[in-house]
Amino acid sequence: MANTVIGSSIIIDGEITGDEDLVVQGTVKGKIQLKESLYVEASGKVEADIETQNTEVSGEVTGNITASDKVELKTQCRVIGDIKAPRILIADGASFKGNVDMDV
């Protein structure tokens, strides 16, 4: 399994770039730039600007999210920042503060 996982005890302060899916269970501060999907799991904390194809948040994100396809805010998530994507889903129970731009 070559999926990239940032485990729950891991703290990364810097930049993550790549062409594959990224699962964040720990903490990432800085910047995330992916050509694939980002999953911020319930234990995950991201303080970073995010650029991906898809972003799915169940944990915490502070920063702007830009996705070329879809951003999904799951129930129980906490997101502070602006979201820009053609498709945006916000589940019941998600906390979100920021602007939404679907490029209409």
For residue 44, state whether it binds other proteins (rule: CB under 8 A): no
For residue 80, state whether it binds other proteins (rule: CB under 8 A): no
* Residue 57 · residue 73 · CB < 8 Å: yes
Look at the alpha carbons of 15, 38, 91, 45 in this order and tell me if their dihedral is positive or negative.
Answer: negative
Closest CA to 90 of 65, 17, 24, 6: 65
Stretch that binds other proteins, among 17-25, 64-72, 81-89, 93-101 (CB under 8 A): 17-25
Candidates 3, 68, 75, 95; binder of other proteins (CB under 8 A) is 3
Which 22-41 positions form the footprint of other proteins (CB under 8 A)? Answer: 22-23, 25-26, 30, 39, 41
Stretch that binds other proteins, among 3-11, 61-69, 70-78, 87-95 (CB under 8 A): 3-11
Candidates 19, 99, 103, 104; binder of other proteins (CB under 8 A) is 19
Contacts to other proteins by CB under 8 A? 1-23, 25-26, 30, 39, 41
